[in-house]
Amino acid sequence: MKIVICLSVLLWAPLSEASLLKSALPFPDWLRDFTGLTEWPGLDPPYIPLDFINFAAIEPSSNHKIGECNNILPNSCSFDCSNCVSTEDIFNCPKLSQTFDDGPSAFTLKLINNLKTPSTFFTLGTQIVKYPEIYKQAMAKGNVMASHSWSHKYLPELTNEEIIAQIEWSVWAMNATGHHLPKYFRPPYGGLDNRVRSIVKQFGMTNVLWNFDTHDWKILLGQRKASDILKDITNHKSAGNGLILEHDHSSQTVNVGIDINKILDGQLTVPQCVGGVNYLRTF
Ligand SMILES: [Zn+2]
C-alpha cells in the first residue's frame, strides 16, 4: 500500500480568522454554556477539558512534523510514515467505494446530486460552520457524515490537548448541524499513530484510512489528469474491493468524483463496508 499524504488543503485559499467569523452556523446555547465562548473558534481551537478523557490511557508521544519520520517511536504504528494499520483501523471495503474528504464546500452540492448511492464524507469543522446547509443536504440524501478534525492540522505534531481540541470542536460542529455524534474519523494527511489512536478511541470513534488514493488534488496543480485517475479506477475495478480517497473541496475533484461514480456500481458507505452503525449517537 503506497501512501502519499494529502496536501490538498494547502491548495485552498487560506482560511482567515475573519472568514471564520462569517460562520453561517449559529453558536448553540449548549456550547456557550459548556465552553464559556460565544462564537466558533479559528484554526487553533481552544482545548476544553472533557471529563471522559483519561490522560493516563493516552499512548506515549512520538511528536514529529509531517514527513519527518526518522525519529518516531518504533512501535508507534504510524500510517503516514510506515503504512502501519492497527487491527481496529478501517482501510478497505468489500466493494470498491468512494469516500470524500475536506468538505462540505460549495462544490459538494453538485457531487451529492450526482451520486448513484450514498457515500461517506469526512468533514472539517471549519467547513461545516461555513456550509451547514450543504452538510444537512448531504445528510438528508443518506450520506454518512464523519469527522476529519476541526481545521486539518497534522495531529502527530500537536500536544494531547491540541489533538483533543481538534476532535471535540469537530464533533460539536457536527452535533450542532446534524444532531449526531460521529462514529468514524479520518486523520488529516493520514497522520495516525498510536497516540492519536488512543485519543480518537476515547471519543468512541473508529479511524478510517484508505487503500486507493486517487491523488485527485494533484489535478489542481496540473500534476495529474482526470483521465488518468479514471483509467486507474477502471483497472482497479476488477479487484472488486477497496476504499477510495477523494476530495469534495474543488470543482475539479468533484467532477472526477462524479465520473468515478459512473464507473462503479454497488458502492457501500463505510459503515456498510464493516457492518457498523452510521453514528455513535443521534439526537
Ligand atoms: Zn484532508
Q: How high is the pLDDT of residue 242?
A: 97
Q: Which of 148, 152, 215, 247 is catalytic?
A: 247
Q: How high is the pLDDT of residue 5?
A: 46
Q: How high is the pLDDT of residue 30?
A: 97
Q: How high is the pLDDT of residue 22?
A: 65
Print burial letters for 130-147: b (CB count within 10 Å at least 16), e (below 16).
Answer: bbbebbbbbbeeebbbbb
User: What's the 12 CA to ligand 1 centre distance in angstroms?
Assistant: 11
Q: Which amino acid is at 261?
A: N
User: What's the 188 CA to ligand 1 centre distance in angstroms?
Assistant: 5
Asked if 215 is an active-site residue, the reply is no
In 3-state terms, what secondary structure has residue 242?
A: coil
**Ranges of each domain in the chain:** 92-283
Alpha helices in the chain (DSSP H): 17-21, 29-35, 79-82, 108-112, 125-128, 132-140, 160-178, 194-200, 226-236, 251-263, 270-274
Q: How high is the pLDDT of residue 9?
A: 44
User: What's the 33 CA to ligand 1 centre distance in angstroms?
Assistant: 31
Q: How high is the pLDDT of residue 15?
A: 46
Q: Which CATH number fits domain 92-283: 3.20.20.370, 3.40.718.10, 3.30.70.260, 1.10.3720.10?
A: 3.20.20.370
User: Which segments in the chain show pLDDT lower than 50?
Assistant: 1-21
Q: How high is the pLDDT of residue 74?
A: 83
Asked if 247 is an active-site residue, the reply is yes
User: What's the 122 CA to ligand 1 centre distance in angstroms?
Assistant: 8
Q: Which of 101, 102, 213, 216 is catalytic?
A: 101
